[in-house]
Amino acid sequence: MPSPALVTVHVWNVPNRRVPAALTRMATDRLRLRRVPGLRFARLLGTGRGDTFTVRDADPNRWALLATWGSEAEAAAFERAPTATGWDRLADERWRVELTPLASHGRWSRREPFGAPTPRRWDGPVAALTRARLTVRRAVTFWRAVPPVASALDEHRKDGGLRAAIGVGEAPAGWQGTLSVWRSADDLRAFAYQGAAHVAAIRRTKETGWYAEELFARFGVVRADGSLDGRDPLT
């Protein structure tokens, strides 16, 4: 696939009384999304803390949509479409971020949703998306390796480099990823390539073969609106 003109991520927080309606929309909106003009790739996602990537991480109050677009105008028009407005009515908090692909490696459901962008410098906040489908026989060893990486993320959150991070997935376990937003590309690189826990996880990925399919993508943050956990992650 060619690189999209724009990537958007919506995150909606839904109060307890509306969780059943959110679950219904997770099923019905998949059909609606197929008819949205300009939408190249979309995934409705459950979320979690990302501490263990097991079922106990799942957050039934928070749901997300990742989408790639042929044009900025088509992405803007989607905000008036039934899917976006329906989730907005359910939610008591909403965060939307616009991204431009800077680098992407791997596949998602045998596709390359962000194309093959030429890596380039980006001055300003960046986002990283990881997504993987676990090999069943390697799942237990993967889950054991997650806590040290989660602890390392917490250290970067404390020093301000990590602005937000949520676990995302197409199922409660086995199909998961992380969306993280960073103050700068330097902060992301410090975690990815200098932190002992994450470097060890990268090495074990190659040695152990945890994933049947994996993708890593990096983005420049173009703009964002709304809030996540009561604050703007970029301020």
Residue entry with tokens 């190659």:
206
Is 130's pLDDT higher than 70? yes
Confidence band of 212 (pLDDT split at 50, 70, 90): low
Identify the three-state secondary structure at position 224.
strand
Is 98's pLDDT higher than 60? yes
pLDDT at res. 174: 46
Segment 179-205 mean pLDDT: 72
Q: Could you tell me which residue, 18 or 141, shows the higher pLDDT?
A: 18
Q: Could you tell me which residue, 138 or 30, shows the higher pLDDT?
A: 30
Is 156's pLDDT higher than 80? no
Provide the token pair at 133: 């489908």
Is 207's pLDDT higher than 50? no
CA distance 54 to 203: 22
pLDDT at res. 151: 63
pLDDT at res. 128: 94
* Contact call for residues 141 and 210 (beta carbons, < 8 A): yes
Confidence band of 136 (pLDDT split at 50, 70, 90): very low
Q: Could you tell me which residue, 98 or 135, shows the higher pLDDT?
A: 98
Torsion of CA 50, 54, 55, 61, to 10 degrees: 10
- Taking all residues of the chain, what is their mean pLDDT, rounded to a whole number? 83
pLDDT at res. 150: 60
pLDDT at res. 133: 75
What are 62-90's pLDDT values in tens digits? Answer: 999 999 999 999 999 999 999 999 999 99
CATH of 6-226, one of 3.40.50.300, 3.40.50.150, 3.30.70.100, 3.90.1150.10: 3.30.70.100
Nearest residue to 146 via CA among 223, 98, 198, 75: 198
pLDDT at res. 177: 83
Residue 15 exposure: Cα atoms within 13 Å on the Cβ side: 5
Backbone angles phi, psi at 71, to 5 degrees: -155, 160
Confidence band of 231 (pLDDT split at 50, 70, 90): very high
